[in-house]
Amino acid sequence: MPPEGAILWQQFGAGNFPLDNEAAWPAQPHSIAIPNRAMREASSVGDLDSFFAIGEAWGHTVTRFLPADPLVMDIGCGCGKLARFLYLNPSVRYIGVDLFRPAIEWCQREFAPLAGDRFRFEHFDGISTVYNPSGTVKATEYRLPAPDKTVDVVVCASLFTHLLEPECKHYLSEISRVLRPAGRAIVSIHTQPPARQRFAGDARRIDIAEPYFCELAQEAGLELKQKLGLLYGQCALLLERP
């Protein structure tokens, strides 16, 4: 989420954020609607071309590593940038999680008529000094909404780019908990901390030295399986639970 997204949160507030879809792109009978620009900007990227391009790139990447009949958890799902592409695969079951309630409410409203209970969206009222200062749950205490060893693939597209170090460690542990044996996590990170630092930044942008992130992942029970290269400026990694 870009820093300007936090400004939109403050302007509208979670209680009266506009949920109406993009006026020029009305919902069609058999397709997911397009969220309005304010919704896209607050939970992802406002530009429509970029919204679709990034979502499609992540959709292709995730689909490449899906097993048969997968359960996918998308942490930081926003207003369905990735979900709208995974929805096209009728075998995918999906759990989307985000701390921006309007995005979750929009997804619940727009996906339910077409996806039914195959797609589920959960709000997490997490505390973020930048994006959700009035939250009620510490990120280091959050429990992902799935039982142990039940998820096939976890996706974290630009999640760890906003988590402080204790939060990063906790989320890695939670991801390891919910993944099945041989389950996979596809994550992205910024990898340009200042010289002689392994972890730097604030909730607007976190940079982690790649070897250190892999070390933290291993401590949580996740092994680096493949470096996937850059996805729109972020280093994408494939982790696996043994």
Q: The dihedral of CA 140, 145, 148, 152: what is its sign?
A: negative
Percent helix / strand / coil, the chain, rounded to 5: 35, 25, 40
Distance CA 140, CA 126 (A): 9
pLDDT at 97: 97
* Pair 43, 79: CB distance under 8 Å: yes
165-178 and 210-219 helices, crossing angle to 10°: 50
Q: Which positions ≥6 away from 218 have C-beta within 8 Å?
A: 224
pLDDT at 65: 98
Distance CA 206, CA 94 (A): 27
Domains along the sequence of the chain with CATH: 3-240 (3.40.50.150)
Count of residues in the chain: 242
The set of long-range contacts for 59-64, using a CB threshold of 8 Å and a minimum separation of 24, is: 59/85, 59/86, 61/186, 61/228, 61/231, 61/236, 62/86, 62/153, 62/155, 62/186, 63/89
* CA-closest candidate to residue 14, choices 34, 39, 46, 48: 39
Taking only the tens of pLDDT, the chain with its 242 residues reads 445 555 555 555 556 667 777 655 556 677 899 999 989 998 889 999 999 999 999 999 999 999 999 999 999 999 999 999 999 999 999 999 999 999 999 999 999 999 989 999 999 999 887 778 889 999 999 999 999 999 999 999 999 999 999 999 999 999 999 999 999 999 999 999 999 999 999 989 999 999 999 999 999 999 999 999 999 999 999 999 99
pTM for the whole thing?
Answer: 0.90
CA 103 to chain CA mean position, Å: 12
